């Protein structure tokens, strides 16, 4: 069977590309080595982590905050098996949903590991060792990423674990050390801290989520500390010892002295590396950069004509929705359309509570590029809805061009920021000014009024409720 398009990997990049290609009348194959479809995101990433984040936040609310609303719960009980089981069911429902979508769109699903053999041929080896071959005019590599580790501390999946194992622990640990205060460290650290684990996070740089706008890292850091998480910022990990009953992590503090932290587990959350093992890149003209990311041109085509790559495996923001946009982009171009991706308008979210979300330039990036900008901020504590909901911790910050008033970046820390950022994405995509958003009616009382107020603050400092 010869296909128009073969997609290697069924994560959000791959499966979305396959669906769009089928919609555009291509004959499509998708190849997946995992037993289920959906990739990192559905199986061991976005979906299970959000299921546990939601469950653990309910627990924390019941344990600490229901009383403030006059709700008594009596003795609270945590059943981790049920909580973990619910997460597994959510994953199961989602991956079955993708299998259904493949069937509905008449996409052939091949189970097994794919290796490129040449221009159009792909070998697929199933879990039973049986090998088949397919050919395809075009190929999309969407093989994603795996957790990275440190040269002196290799993930053993027993005590030195990655997010994958941390999502499936048999019991709630007493103590957990996390290396890296990036997105995974802050999200999964929050899950366990809410459930009673003593969480200690060691971060090399001087802030949590250091790639985001610095105000956000500062606010999130305060909130994680209030949750009981110990943050060791500016600490350089130099050894991890897994031999004893507890894992021991030694890190050098900014002053030069060593600190030793111990935990039932140590979760490595220092980023992810592209996954191209046994993909057969040596059989085609596909090259990688020194970190292993597949190199592509502006059309996401590799050096080998007809072979494209998308998602985590090409680097950039390692986000499910970025991978999806790239999948659609490649397929629509193959169909002769003229799609476009605005990478500056791809939002990012940290699903802690309060949440963090951002889109566009950070203040640090604007400073670095000497761009003249103005800032408008609005605190949640001045927002009626936030006070009504007992959610007055938070801030919305708008960065706009000093001369033209065009919105250049929006950064939010607060309840429901993950959903609220969508309005800022539209503003950036359509190049709205702060004045444009400030003049749009926002329902009262809602959290979204904070964005309107921050835009008012950015335009002649005229926030109404401050
Ligand atoms: P992947 O989802 O990694 O899928 C690649 C697939 O290819 C895998 O299923 C793999 O088995 C398969 N594969 C690899 N090689 C082969 C081969 N040779 N043959 C056949 N199959 C192969 N992003 C967000 O946007 N929001 C979130 O909330 C979020 N939360 C996350 C939480 C965690 C704990 C983690 C780890 C990640 C999270 N991410 C989140 C990141 C997100 O999961 C990734 O950016 C996204 O999954 C990348 O999609 P992809 O299609 O490029 O690759
Ligand atoms: P990350 O890049 O977000 O954070 C890694 C952190 O580890 C950084 O703060 C870095 O400074 C730190 N670090 C690196 N080496 C270190 C060392 N030796 N000692 C101490 N700290 C060190 O990576 P993370 O959290 O592993 O997540 C991987 C990817 O998964 C991210 O790129 C992210 O995009 C994606 N993801 C997205 C989520 C979301 O969108 N909500 C949720 C979870 C993951």
Residue pair 221/207 in contact by the 8 Å Cβ criterion: yes
CATH fold group of domain 2-146+273-341:
FAD/NAD(P)-binding domain (3.50.50)
Task: In whole angstroms, give the CA distance from residue 431 to residue 425.
Answer: 10
Q: Output DSSP code: residue 388.
A: H
| Total Cβ atoms within 10 A of residue 414 | 26
**pLDDT for the residue 93:** 98
**pLDDT for the residue 221:** 98
Q: Which ligand is nearest to the CA of 293?
A: 1
- The answer, yes or no, to whether residue 63 has pLDDT greater than 80, is yes
Domain 2-146+273-341 and domain 160-270 have a common topology: yes
- The dihedral built from the CA positions of residue 150, 151, 154 and 160, taken in this order, carries a sign that is negative
**pLDDT for the residue 333:** 98
**pLDDT for the residue 172:** 98
Q: What is the pLDDT of residues 198-222, one digit of tens each?
A: 999 999 999 999 999 999 999 999 9
SS3 357: strand
Calculate mean pLDDT across residues 132-159.
Answer: 98
Q: Answer yes or no: is the C-beta of 172 below 6 A from any ligand 2 atom.
A: no
Q: Is residue 378 very low, low, confident or very high in pLDDT (cuts 50, 70, 90)?
A: very high
Q: 331 C-alpha to center of ligand 2: Å?
A: 30
Task: In whole angstroms, give the CA distance from residue 63 to residue 73.
Answer: 8
Q: 11 C-alpha to center of ligand 1: Å?
A: 5
Q: Which ligand is nearest to the CA of 351?
A: 2
The position carrying tokens 């590599």 is 141
Which structure tokens are listed for 417? 């920021």
**pLDDT for the residue 26:** 98
The minimum-distance atom of ligand 1 relative to the CA of 9 is: 7
Calculate mean pLDDT across residues 166-186.
Answer: 98
- The answer, yes or no, to whether residue 174 has pLDDT greater than 90, is yes
Task: In whole angstroms, give the CA distance from residue 223 to residue 217.
Answer: 10
Residue pair 254/236 in contact by the 8 Å Cβ criterion: no
Indicate the CATH number of 160-270 among 3.50.50.60, 3.40.50.1820, 3.40.50.970, 1.10.443.10: 3.50.50.60
- The answer, yes or no, to whether residue 1 has pLDDT greater than 90, is no
Q: What is the pLDDT of residues 382-424, one digit of tens each?
A: 999 999 999 999 999 999 999 999 999 999 999 999 999 999 9
CATH class (in words) of the domain with range 346-458 = alpha beta
Q: Answer yes or no: is the C-beta of 87 below 6 A from any ligand 1 atom.
A: no
Calculate mean pLDDT across residues 347-366.
Answer: 98
Task: Give the distance, in angstroms, between the CA of residue 238 and the centroid of all CA atoms in the same chain.
Answer: 27
- The answer, yes or no, to whether residue 322 has pLDDT greater than 80, is yes
Q: Output DSSP code: residue 294.
A: B
Q: 49 C-alpha to center of ligand 1: Å?
A: 13
Q: 459 C-alpha to center of ligand 2: Å?
A: 35
The reported pTM is 0.98
Q: Which ligand is nearest to the CA of 8?
A: 1
| Total Cβ atoms within 10 A of residue 216 | 24
**pLDDT for the residue 232:** 98
- The dihedral built from the CA positions of residue 186, 175, 81 and 63, taken in this order, carries a sign that is negative
Domain boundaries, the chain: 2-146+273-341, 160-270, 346-458
Residue pair 28/21 in contact by the 8 Å Cβ criterion: yes
Q: Going by C-beta distance under 8 Å and a sequence separation of 6 or more, which residues neighbour residue 93?
A: none
Q: What is the pLDDT of residues 438-466, one digit of tens each?
A: 999 999 999 999 999 999 999 989 999 98
Atom 30 of ligand 2: nearest residue by CA position: 318
Task: In whole angstroms, give the CA distance from residue 364 to residue 216.
Answer: 12
Return the best residue to mutate from 17, 40, 87 for the ligand 1 pocket (most ligand atoms within 8 A of CB): 40
Q: Answer yes or no: is the C-beta of 321 below 6 A from any ligand 1 atom.
A: yes
Q: Containing H/E element for 193?
A: helix 183-194
**pLDDT for the residue 193:** 98
Q: Output DSSP code: residue 281.
A: G
Q: 147 C-alpha to center of ligand 2: Å?
A: 9
Both ends of the chain: CA-CA distance in Å?
66
Q: Is residue 183 very low, low, confident or very high in pLDDT (cuts 50, 70, 90)?
A: very high
Which structure tokens are listed for 298? 């502006």
Q: Going by C-beta distance under 8 Å and a sequence separation of 6 or more, which residues neighbour residue 298?
A: none
Q: What is the pLDDT of residues 221-271, one digit of tens each?
A: 999 999 999 999 999 999 999 999 999 999 999 999 999 999 999 999 999
**pLDDT for the residue 119:** 86
Q: What is the pLDDT of residues 9-55, one digit of tens each?
A: 999 999 999 999 999 999 999 999 999 999 999 999 999 999 999 99
Cite the active site residues.
444
Q: Answer yes or no: is the C-beta of 187 below 6 A from any ligand 2 atom.
A: yes
Residue from 317, 201, 204 nearest 252 by CA:
204
Q: What is the mean pLDDT of the chain?
A: 97
Tell me what percent of the residues of the chain surpass a pLDDT of 70.
Answer: 100
Residue pair 9/31 in contact by the 8 Å Cβ criterion: yes
């Amino acid at each position: 069977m010869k296909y128009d398009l073969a997609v290697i990997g069924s994560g959000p990049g791959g499966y979305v590309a396959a669906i769009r290609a089928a919609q555009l009348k291509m004959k499509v194959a998708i190849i997946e080595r995992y037993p289920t479809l959906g990739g990192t995101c559905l199986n061991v990433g976005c979906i299970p982590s959000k299921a546990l984040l939601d469950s653990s936040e309910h627990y924390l609310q019941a344990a600490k905050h229901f009383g403030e609303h006059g709700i008594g719960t009596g003795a609270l009980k945590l059943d981790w098996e049920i909580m973990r089981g619910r997460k597994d069911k959510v994953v199961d429902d989602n991956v079955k949903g993708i299998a259904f979508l493949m069937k509905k769109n008449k996409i052939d699903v091949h189970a097994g590991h794919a290796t490129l053999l040449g221009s159009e041929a792909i070998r697929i080896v199933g879990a039973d060792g049986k090998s088949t071959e397919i050919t395809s005019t075009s190929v999309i590599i969407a093989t994603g990423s795996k957790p990275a580790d440190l040269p002196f501390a290799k993930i053993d999946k027993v005590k030195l674990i990655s997010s994958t194992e941390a999502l499936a622990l048999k019991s709630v640990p007493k103590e957990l050390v996390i290396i890296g205060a990036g997105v995974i460290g802050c999200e999964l650290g929050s899950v366990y801290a809410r459930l009673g684990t003593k969480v200690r996070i060691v971060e090399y740089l001087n802030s949590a989520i250091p790639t985001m706008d610095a105000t956000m890292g500062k606010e999130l850091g305060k909130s994680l500390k209030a949750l009981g998480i110990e943050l060791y910022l500016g600490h350089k990990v130099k050894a991890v010892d897994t031999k004893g009953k507890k894992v021991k992590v030694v890190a050098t503090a900014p002053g030069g002295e060593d600190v030793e932290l111990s935990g039932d587990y140590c979760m490595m959350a220092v980023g992810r590396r592209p996954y191209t093992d046994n993909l057969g890149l040596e059989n085609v003209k596909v090259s990688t950069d020194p970190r292993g990311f597949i190199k592509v041109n502006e059309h996401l085509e590799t050096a080998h004509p007809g072979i494209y790559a998308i998602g985590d495996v090409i680097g950039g923001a390692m986000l499910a929705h970025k991978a999806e946009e790239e999948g659609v982009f490649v397929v629509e171009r193959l169909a002769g359309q003229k799609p476009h991706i605005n990478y500056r308008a791809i939002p990012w979210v940290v699903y802690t509570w309060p949440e963090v979300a951002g889109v566009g330039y950070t203040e640090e990036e604007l400073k670095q590029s000497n761009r003249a900008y103005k800032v408008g901020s609005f605190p949640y504590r001045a927002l009626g809805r936030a006070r009504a909901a007992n959610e007055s911790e938070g801030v919305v910050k708008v960065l706009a061009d000093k001369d033209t008033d065009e919105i250049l970046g929006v950064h939010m820390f607060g309840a429901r920021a993950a959903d609220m950022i969508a309005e800022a994405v539209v503003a950036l995509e359509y190049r709205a000014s702060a004045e444009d958003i400030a003049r749009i009616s926002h329902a009262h009382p809602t959290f979204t009024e904070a964005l309107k107020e921050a835009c008012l603050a950015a335009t002649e400092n005229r926030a109404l409720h401050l």
